[in-house]
Amino acid sequence: MKNKIAILTGGGDCPGLNGVIRAVSKKAINEYDMEVIGIEDGYQGMIENRMRPLNYEAVSGILTLGGTILGTSNKANPYKYIAPDDSSAEPKDVSAQAIANLKKIGVDCLVCIGGDGTLKIAHRLCQDGIPIVGVPKTIDNDIRGTEVTFGFDTAVEIATEGIDRLHTTAQSHHRVMILEVMGRNAGWIALHAGIAGGGDVILIPEIPFDMDLVAQRVKERSHKGKRFSIIVVAEGARPKGGQVTVKKIVKDASEPVRLGGIGFTIADDIEKKTGLECRAVVMGHLQRGGSPSAYDRVLATELGTRVVDMIIDGKFGHMVGIQGGRMLDVPLEEVAKGPRLIPADHPLISAARSVGTCFGN
């Protein structure tokens, strides 16, 4: 039986992280009398040997809290590490040091809670001899091997509320309102929130858009007496034959390209093509913050408790995933192949088109 486990949360913060930490820790302690160690700030803490015990009291009362009590980092990669105080240096492989820190305290299994970047690193650490189980975490819902990730439902709820609020001001001022949401190269948040909020146009990375068609749809609505329009755009959306809109490059990050600003570009283009007044709003990190939804709290608890079963059964090198409503063990090798994007024949796209939503193509 495994008697000491460690937990880390990597990548961007996400509603529901504390729910998973709580579920893993409480089940491990209650049912198997395990010792649980929390690693601070993701792989950064593993590299710098910053760890602390997680007893029952430490994880009580955290289910409803947003963020992560352990902290996180979306920069630290043990295989391509740049020290925080030396950003001009070349990346170094410090994985041996990170692995030694775990072995020194006798960790029997490392629980990695994160998105595709975190789990890709976890896969490599597993190949290098660390027993690992993974938990899929991202508001983007784009992890291969699972149909749903915790944090996504909360992000969609927040984005949908944003659309609802934009509706009232758009109607009052007869404007075109553009809401830019997160998602990186996947359009799951834009698609779900756009449908839930009654968006007139939804632009996602998987369907490159024609700006003339978008402007035409807005003008058609105006000519029919609809004196406002709502456009929901994913940050990774791009025009046909064009490129994504890059906000900045963060050289020492695991994902150096930071997307953002496509909403303002679309607003300028529509004003030029239609003469209608436009406003753009970027939801940004509002989608990541706050208390998790009821659904995400339940999902986090399900996934966290299942992970402990995987540890007991020796299912190392796997992530717990959900497919067809059932939990299953997904090889980290599969997860590491890249993000899960929206297929062209997804039923939600068909449903949205049936009610008149434009995708710019």
Question: pLDDT tens, position by position, for the chain (361 residues)?
Answer: 568 999 999 988 899 999 999 999 999 999 999 999 999 999 999 999 999 999 999 999 999 999 999 999 888 899 998 887 776 678 899 999 999 999 999 999 999 999 988 999 999 999 999 999 999 999 999 999 999 999 999 999 999 999 999 988 887 777 899 999 998 899 999 999 999 999 999 999 999 999 999 999 988 888 787 788 999 999 999 999 888 878 777 666 666 677 788 999 999 999 999 988 889 999 888 888 899 999 999 999 999 999 999 999 999 999 999 999 899 999 999 998 889 999 999 999 999 999 999 999 8
Same fold, 4-150+292-335 and 153-288: yes
Under DSSP, the state recorded for 304 is H
Distance CA 327, CA 311 (A): 15
Distance CA 284, CA 149 (A): 19
Is 2.40.70.10 the CATH classification of the domain at 4-150+292-335?
no
Distance CA 319, CA 114 (A): 10
Nearest to 320 by CA among 111, 76, 108, 157: 111
The pLDDT of residue 73 = 87
Domain edges within the chain: 4-150+292-335, 153-288
Nearest to 77 by CA among 251, 249, 254: 254
Under DSSP, the state recorded for 248 is E
The pLDDT of residue 258 = 73
The pLDDT of residue 318 = 97
The pLDDT of residue 250 = 67
Q: Which of 13, 41, 140, 296 is catalytic?
A: 140
According to DSSP, the residues that pair with 38 across neighbouring strands are 7, 52
According to DSSP, the residues that pair with 150 across neighbouring strands are 137
* CATH class of the domain comprising 153-288: alpha beta
Q: Are strands 246-249 and 257-259 parallel, antiparallel or unpaired?
A: antiparallel
- Tally the residues of the chain: 361
Would you call 269 a catalytic residue per the annotation?
no
The pLDDT of residue 88 = 67
Gyration radius of the chain's alpha carbons = 22
The pLDDT of residue 251 = 66
The pLDDT of residue 95 = 95
